[in-house]
Amino acid sequence: MLIIFLGVLSQWIAWRLQFPAIVLMSIAGLLVGPIFEVIHPAESFGELFNPFISLAVAIILFEGSLNLNFKEIRTFGKPILRIVTLGAFIAWIAGSFAAHYIAGLSLGVAFVIGGLFIVTGPTVILPMLRQAKLKSRPAAILKWEGIVVDPFGALLALFAFQFVLFAIGDETAAAFGLFFLASLFAVALGVGTGMLMGMMFEKGQVPEFLKAPMVFGIVLLIFVISDIVMHETGLLAVTAMGMVMANMKIASINDMRHFKENISVLLISSIFVMLTASLNLDVLIGIFNWEIVSFVLAMLFIVRPLSIWLSTIGTDMTIQEKTLVGWIAPRGIVALTVSGYFAGVLLEAGFEDAELLTALTFALVFSTVIVHSFTIGWVGKKLGLVAAEDPGVIIIGASRFATKLGKVLAEFEKGVLIIDSSWGRLQEARQNGLKTYAGDILSEHTDYEVDLTPYETMVVATGTDSYNALVVNNFVPEMGRANLYQTAIHEGDPGDFHASLSGRTLFGEKWNIHELEWKAEEGYTMRKTQLTEQFSYEDFKVKWTEDTIPLFVYYSQGKIEFFAENNKLEPKAGDTIVSFTATAPESERTQERLESKRSKNGSQTKE
């Protein structure tokens, strides 16, 4: 109970404070574990501790691989291929020599742990990418590397271990053949299972309510079967299965992805607390050994940048992208769990220096998680690789009102994208210089054609209420319900429809998109009213008539906030209220200009 509670609480606090969640989860585990000794997960779970973590990692890795659609990398597949092959090899060799010459490990142990340390992993990189909001290209490169290299890191360590045993005479050449056969078996099992599940889903042989649970069970099954054949090949099987299903154009893939994402968040939260809480003080003290600290610094500032810059020579990656990718390489759960396994088998094989592996791994994991979590956003901004420092607004549905709304948002220097399935309906928006896209926002094709990262808020305002509600519910997992707005339900729709399906209602129950469109045809215009010390929000409300539809507040700090149900706004002097209203009489507009001028003159006099 405490593990799950602390994990989820850490995620929530991180969201509230815009803080790296992984750091808080690790700190929470250290506090309740080795520092205050409240819980001892390894002792409490006993023999179930390692199997539980292994199964959780399998689910997390599969969920990440469901996002690996090959269409995403059609323009930059070469850099990714280089990074996960040549880059991984360079990182293995350089990391192994660093472990030998700096950390003092024997060559055999160094090459085993060097292979494992090439992993970055979805457990750490995906939460960082969600927080940093990088541009789509560097984000995709980091995501693909993290998910694809994760199983290969474990396999590389296993290969190195087999080679070490062969070198000291404890293993025969046949073991290498078995290793490669087991790896091929894992890939074949994952690919075959993924294709079979995909075909069953498309032919309707599995009901909707069973799809996610069935995938959940099958993932665990093929992971265990592969691991029984050879340890650490299960991760390869689940990755292959996820990649196959992600590229089969399965209609219900998004529903499964959302289910898996929710499960993964819970598992990541719990596992980080469990692992850090299970450490002992001797390991924590051992981290501050100068050899370990020097090794971590070498991995951060020499090995990682070297592997990226050398492997991407001749690709179209920019200097900025190479710099960012060469800096960001956090290690996660796979490194912690698999290093524990290899520490045990290496000690059994007579390598006494393998005792250092736990402290060495935790030092690298904790250091990279903290350093990269805090710096990914800052470095991204400095290199110009952040999608947008000032998030924009997507408007679904091209109408005369939507065009007027988009135009006034653009005047406040907000990014605006209007999406509609009709090219013709977008004509007015294009003539006004607004960014448009003709297509269905719910189409899979749109995912690859349109980068939605720069947009934080969505206004759904088509003429079909059921479609509006469908769009809102589809984007709740990605954008959060607080950032999803929908125009009021038309009075002809059933009363319980609004309560159960729609997003936050914009502008009040009276103003559905049909009413707003009629007002636009009558000549209603967008009106900006700047509040002053002399003309407050209370004064504005006094002048508020039936012909005035307040839309949003533009705060002096640059933020916008829409008038919506359960959204009590309190604009102050310096803020601007934008309303949709009938053309004001000339005398009223003149009075507003005079009030604004007096306010500016008064502020200049004070200065």
Among 292, 247, 317, residue whose Cα is nearest residue 66: 247
pLDDT of residue 225: 96
Of the candidate CATH numbers 1.20.1530.20, 1.10.357.10, 1.10.260.40, 1.10.10.10, the domain formed by 2-382 belongs to 1.20.1530.20
pLDDT number for residue 603: 45
10-residue stretch averages of pLDDT, the chain, 607 residues long: 91 77 83 91 89 86 77 75 92 95 92 90 74 81 85 83 78 75 94 93 85 90 94 87 84 64 78 84 82 94 95 92 93 78 84 86 88 89 77 88 91 88 88 88 70 82 86 80 84 49 74 88 87 83 77 85 80 87 58 52 46
Q: Are strands 560-562 and 548-554 parallel, antiparallel or unpaired?
A: antiparallel
Residues 6+ apart with CB under 8 A from 70: 77, 247
Query: Both tokens of residue 453?
Result: 């990262």
Amino acid at 287: I
Model pTM score: 0.69
Sign of the torsion formed by the C-alpha atoms of 545, 551, 554 and 559: positive
* Tokens matching residue 40: 């001892």
- The count of residues in the chain is 607
Element (H, E) at 597: helix 586-606
Tokens read off for 260: 């898996």
Question: What was the pLDDT predicted at 396?
Answer: 93
506, 560 Cβ separation under 8 angstroms: no
Task: Give the separation between CA 74 and CA 313, rounded to whole angstroms.
Answer: 19
State the DSSP string of 131-194: HH-B-HHHHHHHHHHHHHHHHHHHHHHHHHHHHHHHHTTSS-THHHHHHHHHHHHHHHHHHHHH
Please give the helix or strand (H or E) that residue 417 lies within, else none.
strand 416-420
CATH number of this structure's domain 389-496: 3.40.50.720
Task: Give the residue carrying structure tokens 């901004």.
Answer: 381
How much is the pLDDT for 539?
81
Alpha helices in 312-443 (DSSP H): 319-327, 333-348, 357-382, 400-411, 427-431
The ranges assigned to domains in the chain are: 2-382, 389-496, 524-607
pLDDT of the residue at 25: 85
Annotate 24-45 with three-state secondary structure: HHHHHHHHHHHHCCCCCHHHHH
Q: How much is the pLDDT for 499?
A: 43
pLDDT of residue 144: 86
Q: What's 517-571 look like in SS3?
A: HHHHHHCCEEEEEECCCCCCHHHHHHHCCCCEEEEEEECCCCCEEECECCCCCCC
Question: What's the confidence (pLDDT) of residue 255?
Answer: 62
- Tell me how far CA of residue 473 lies from CA of 416, 477, 481, 500, in angstroms: 21, 8, 8, 10
